[in-house]
Amino acid sequence: MTRSVSARELYEEVRLRLELQCVVEGDGERRIEIAEGRTRRPSLIGYLNLIHPNKIQIIGAEEVEFLDGQPASKRRAILQRMFKLQPAVLAITRGIEPPADLLMAAKRSKVPVWRTPKRGHDVLTYLQYHLARALAPQTSLHGVFLEVYSIGVLITGEAGSGKSELALELITRGHRLVADDAPEFTLVAPDVIDGTCPEMLQDCLEVRGLGVLNVREMFGDTAVKRNKYLRLIVHLGAPVADGELDGMKRLYGDVSTAKLLDVEVPRLVIPVAPGRNLAVLVEAAVRNHVLKSKGIDAAQTFVDRQAHAMKRQRTW
């Protein structure tokens, strides 16, 4: 699968932040892309490089000085090679006036040319960050994504299991909604998954019997969160009879992991049954998860105590 963004889309997204001016419009549909399965990752952005070309070539004072120092024939050859490599964009930094022959070559090749007053390093850093997120692997899951005690928690379960009602209860207890129904997840680092809300569903929570609620308007700006890293999945499962419950699950809970974007995410199953206070259980699960991440495991401590007591009894 190929993930891409067009030059025109990128320009609109970063134009204000980088104070861009479009000098040559060119072909705005040129794609900046990453294809999965490639043995070599393409270079997306960098300073002028004719050996390992970048999709976005940054032209600063040093690059212009280098071109100015070349004989006319070699300068033409360099420009021909530069545009033969089909860059998606040329970015001129520090507000430099682009050389006339470079602009003419860009117009012939329909390569967009942007100019910015920012330093090359600032442009490089920001665009690397922006493209890394825009082209990162993404997926969408069915559930409600919330921030509970500063931890990103995805609540999943079958239709009608009470996910939205539980989310509403947690929101009234001071926790925050990120996304309902279809949160989007992006792999922003090798082991970090960032969850966000689709624009269409922003601030909305659908509760059966009540319809669609605007959480921001009902509970205020502090009741919603733009994005959060996913750290825990809580699945609302079917009730289990005591005789059917595995003894180890009684001690450690029904804990496993779920693979999302090649990252193992802790997953806890909470059986749903009449009379259970699910909001309190989720809060307790999050607190326990935080303690485990610090090396404090209550169940393991209990098992160790029991083993120690049995060992002492055998020595008497």
Nearest 5°: phi and psi at 134? -65, -30
Q: Which amino acid is at 18?
A: L
Instruction: Determine the angle formed by the axes of helices 100-109 and 72-84, rounding to 10 degrees.
Output: 30
Residue 182 CB: number of other CB atoms within 10 A?
15
Indicate which residues carry an active-site annotation.
Answer: 142, 163, 181, 250
Return d(Cα 108, Cα 111) in angstroms, integer. 8
Residue 208 CB: number of other CB atoms within 10 A?
10
Nearest 5°: phi and psi at 101? -70, -30
Nearest 5°: phi and psi at 153? -125, 125
Return d(Cα 179, Cα 198) in angstroms, integer. 8
Q: Which amino acid is at 104?
A: M
Relative to beta strand 89-92, strand 211-214 is: unpaired
Residues β-bridged to residue 189: 192
Token digits for 284? 């307790």
User: 89, 56 in Cβ contact below 8 A?
Assistant: yes
